[in-house]
């Protein structure tokens, strides 16, 4: 299902981002644009991020791919 219509982001893409280390709406916005347009998707996007956060942050290999590239 589309969560962010402004940027065409789906719930699946949010779950993939969470699996890759995205933990906050700010991280998600930087990665996908979600929540940076009209903001109407923010609550749903945060809820999906919360549901997808199964592993503790310390168990993740890298916080976000873009941070790994910057290093």
With 0.85 as the threshold, say if the pTM is over it.
no
From residue 9, alpha-carbon distances to 30, 35, 68 in Å are 13, 10, 23
Question: Is it the case that residue 70 has pLDDT exceeding 80?
Answer: no
Of the candidates 14, 18, 4, 12, the residue with the CA atom closest to the CA atom of residue 53 = 18
- Residue 45 and residue 6 in contact, taking contact as beta carbons nearer than 8 Å: no
Q: Indicate the SS3 state at residue 2.
A: strand
pLDDT of 71 over the 70 cut: no
CATH class of the domain at 2-70: mainly alpha
How is the chain split into domains, by residue range? 2-70
pLDDT of 63: 57
Tens digit of each residue's pLDDT (9 = 90 or more) over 49-62: 999 876 545 455 55
């Amino acid at each position: 299902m589309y969560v962010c219509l402004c940027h065409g982001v789906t719930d699946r893409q949010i779950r993939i981002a969470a699996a890759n280390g995205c933990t906050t709406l700010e991280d998600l916005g930087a990665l996908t644009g979600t929540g940076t347009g009209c903001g109407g998707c923010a609550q749903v996007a945060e809820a999906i991020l919360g549901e997808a956060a199964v592993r503790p942050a310390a168990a993740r290999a890298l916080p976000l791919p873009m941070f790994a590239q910057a290093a």
